[in-house]
Structure 1
Amino acid sequence: MTDPQIAVFMLGIFICIILLGFPICFTLMALGVGFGYYAYYDPARMHTIFDNRIFDLLVNQTYSVMSNDVLTAVPLFLFMGYIVERANIVSRLFSTLQIAARRVPGSMAVAALVTCALFATATGIVGAVVTLMGLLAFPAMLKARYDASFASGVICAGGTLGILIPPSIMLIVYAATSGVSIVQLYAGAMLPGLLLAGLYILYVVGRAWLNPKVAPPLRKEDMEEISTGRLLLMLATSFAPLAVLILSVLGAILFGLATPSEAAAVGALGGLILAVVYRALTWDRLRESVYLTVRTSAMVCWLFVGSWTFASVFSYLGGEQLIGDFVRGLDISPLAFLIMAQIIIFLLGWPLEWSEIIIIFVPIFLPLLPHFGIDPLFFGILIALNLQTSFLTPPMAMSAYYLKGIAPPEVQLVQIFRGCMPFLFMVVISMAILYLFPGIAFWLPALVYGH
């Protein structure tokens, strides 16, 4: 076998092993070191079995990850999200939005989607949003006689918005992988994220209006009459604090007042202050938030170490060149390449989490972007849109499994899958709109940064 063939063989072994359920980061490191030992083997330098450059590469990659300024923002944003999740802010927000939208068709679903969008923006952690909203909003919708599939789709789709709408952890990881400015990525993802959330709300309102059986309007006896002044006070004490925190963090980043890491630090402090104000900060909650932050951050960092080691060996053996030559030899248009890449990423989303796709497989496509004249910023936003589907598509729809874990026993998994399907179409429509009107992604970066 030639070196490029060995590289492709290494990639195939990796896919087979992770499908068996082995830990991905350690699988990447093991394969990287194993095949790297062969790739960098030099008999002239071999005095002991450790006299191989692959070990130097592993150490250097670990140091590079630990000193990466972009990745510093990850634990800070995670900590902000975990603190907000445990501060009982979301329950107040959902109750207030439900009252404010009570005369809108599908008012509970609309309130759940808006709450999901705000909460997902604050956390960026899909499992946390789906689980908490599944405990909070899902039983309320079922009690209000909402169709179980319809309510399930709302929670699952709304919970995934956090990987698209800034400050998204996924975009930080893509920025570290691709070298694209995280600030410009945040600016570029803002309008597509709002577009997708708007399409979700439009679908919910439209379907509730056309078929009131799936989302019955509130009965008059269930509609508490609240004065405008009291409603404004409720919004000021539930919606405004979280919105101000998120907008302050994003505004500081987008307008160059602070780096993402500095803004994330301020956001984490703001989350602590909100928890204190709402009298929800306890030692157990703080300790749990720190533990979850460390655990998730460690997972992301070790994924980077493993994937960069694996990718370095893969490229050194000629695998990246082999794939690049194959794709360029197809003589396809930029649009065809984009569609092909997005289909591959869509399929990878079935067995893999978004982090593995971004860190391991996206770098294979990045060197091909200049050949097709595709901006990596645009490509990254398309991927962020596409990865919404990885959480919603059976049989590996993680959002559905998160919800099933806390849903009442009578709600079947197939009902949850069925409820996710219409929202998948909304994702496809949003991607088509972005294809046709790429200015949606480029307008804000061009306005602020001249991108």
Structure 2
Amino acid sequence: MTDPQVGILMMVLFIFTILLGYPIAFTLLAMGLIFGFYAMGDRVFDLMVQNTFDVMANDILTAIPLFLFMGYVIERANIIDRLFFSIQVAARRVPASMAVAALLTCAVFATATGIIGAVVTLMGLLAFPTMLNAGYDQRFASGVICAGGCLGILIPPSIMLIVYSATAGVSVVQLYAGALLPGLMLASMYIAYVIGRAVLNPKLAPKPAQEELDMPIGQVLRLMATSFFPLAVLIMCVLGAILAGLATPTEAAAVGSLGGLVLAAAYRALSWERLRESVFLTARTSAMVCYLFIGSWTFASIFSYLGGHDLIEHWILNANLTRVEFLIIAQLIIFLLGWPLEWTEIIIIFVPIFLPLLEPFNVDPLFFGILIALNLQTSFLTPPMAMSAYYLKGVAPPNVELMNIFRGVIPFVGIVILAMVLLYVFPGVALYLPEVMYG
């Protein structure tokens, strides 16, 4: 076998091993070391040590544990249940008010944490039973929670965009600016869909009780002032400082972590136990991300050394594809990879395969990154491997069937595909803010 063929065998064995259920980070590292020893001898161990040092010394990645800590502190301090209730009361006269409140809460919480499992699980415990008790259709409510929980991949300060920035060498600040309008567009499309469905079929989302509709406006404003605005101001300050160039993502994440602690203390929800849990979860998730980087960079280096990247690049360039055809094929591959793999492996292992092809096809790496972030929404929502559906099923009442959750998310997959089409046709949605703000 030639070296490029060995590289393709390495990729196939990795995917097969992942499907068997082995831990991804250590599978990557093992494959990299085994095939690296075949290709480079014992120099592969020097490569692994160098990759470990590069990951730990990467300034961009320092923002990840800080954003994670901010999200975990907010989650553990029970701030989100206050947020959901206040938005629900404020939107009480809107059709499907609970669904709209759930989507807005998911968007805000996703902005604060960016962890899909955490958002879907918490909203599945908090909002999902409330919607079912209010008479909402089971499939309708399931789709709202699953789709809303995935918004953290796209809406900044997204951790996924930080990882893409470190992988592709694109400014994370410009990525945040580019992702802002597409993220708001997708969230708005979700809200428009649930309101439209409720207007056409009121049985899907019954109106709230009369006593809720008659709540005085002063009480509503007080709820918003004590629940919604503090967290919204914290997120806007963190994101605004990054986009305005007043602070690096790492510095803004540090301030956000401090702000999360202050908010938790202000709500009298900051205890030693909750702080300890937040630190533990942050350390565990950060360690997972770092091991994934070490393993995937070692794997990708050996795959490239064997000629795997060159073989794929040569095959695509000789196919005489147009720019649009290349983008569609690339996004289709990423969509399919999202079934067996997490977004971290897709960004760190497979995206570098496409990066050298962006220049021949005249594709902006920033635009490509926003497309991937939008595409990965479908990976979490598309049956049979829709991870957000499994997260929700794990915390849903026993009478909620997984097939009903799958049926509920399908319309939202269609909305994401429509958003991707709009982004293809109007790339300025992603490129306008970076061009205006940073030239």
Q: TM-score range by the shorter chain?
A: over 0.9
AA at the equivalent of 1:24: I
Structure-1 separation of matches of 2:28 and 2:208:
53
2:215 to 226, 231, 235: 226
- Aligned position for 1:76: 66
CA distance in 2, matches of 1:15, 1:91: 39
The 3-state SS of whatever aligns with 1:274 is helix
TM superposition shift of 1:149: 0.3
Residue 20 of structure 1 and its aligned partner are, at CA, apart by: 0.5
Question: How many Å separate the matches in 2 of 1:447 and 1:74?
Answer: 27
Name the residue aligned to 1:344: 333
Structure 1 residue corresponding to 2:164, chosen from 158, 169, 174: 174
Match of 1:10 in 2: 10
Tell me the equivalent position of 2:276. Answer: 287
For 1:248, the equivalent position in structure 2 comes to 237
1:314-345 deviation per Cα after TM superposition (whole angstroms, max 9, x unaligned)? 11111100000000010000100000011111
1:428-443 mapped onto 2 (5 Å cutoff) = 428-443=417-432
Q: Aligned to 2:399, which of 384, 407, 410? A: 410
CA distance, structure 1, for counterparts of residue 144 and residue 381 of structure 2: 11
Partner secondary structure for residue 214 of structure 2: coil
The equivalent of 2:33 in structure 1 is 33
- AA in 1 matched with 2:435: A
The answer on whether the counterparts of 2:92 and 2:213 sit within 8 Å (CA) in structure 1 is no
CA–CA separation in structure 2 for the residues paired with 1:313 and 1:359: 14
Q: Structure 1 residue runs of 4+, over 6 Å off?
A: none
Superposition deviation, residue 223 in structure 1: 2.1
Q: CA deviation at 1:233?
A: 1.6
Gaps of 5+ in 2: none
Partner in structure 2 of residue 108 of structure 1: 98
> Per-residue displacement from partner, 1:8-41 (whole Å, max 9, x unpaired)?
1111111111110111111111111111111113
Q: Which runs of 5+ in 1 are unaligned?
A: 42-51
- Structure 1 window deviating more from structure 2 (125-134 vs 192-201): it is 125-134
- Give the Cα separation in 1 of the matches to 2:69 and 2:119: 14
Of 324, 332, 346 in structure 2, the residue corresponding to residue 335 of structure 1 is 324
**C-alpha distance after superposition, 1:32-56 (max 9, x if no partner):** 1111111113xxxxxxxxxx21111
Match of 1:372 in 2: 361
Q: Which residue of 2 aligns with 1:193?
A: 183
SS at match of 1:75: helix
Give the TM-score normalised by the residue count of structure 2: 0.99
CA apart distance, 1:224 = 5.0
Match of 2:120 among 113, 121, 130: 130
Q: Deviations over 1:111-145 (max 9, x none)?
A: 11001100111010111111111111111111111
Q: Which of 386, 400, 414 is the matching residue for 2:389? A: 400
Question: Any idea what SS the aligned residue of 1:22 has?
Answer: coil
How far is 1:441 from its partner?
A: 0.4
Which letter maps to 1:59?
V
Counterpart residue number, 1:164: 154
Pairing 1:259–2:248 present: yes
* Seq. identity, %: 70
Does the alignment pair 1:273 with 2:262?
yes
Find the aligned partners of 2:18 and 2:106 in 1 and give their Cα distance: 31
> Which residue of structure 1 aligns with residue 289 of structure 2?
300
CA distance in 1, matches of 2:69, 2:99: 28
SS of structure 1 residue aligned to 2:203? coil
Q: Give the whole-Å Cα distance in 2 for the aligned partners of 1:258 and 1:35.
A: 42
Determine if contact 2:93/2:213 at 8 Å carries over to the other structure: no
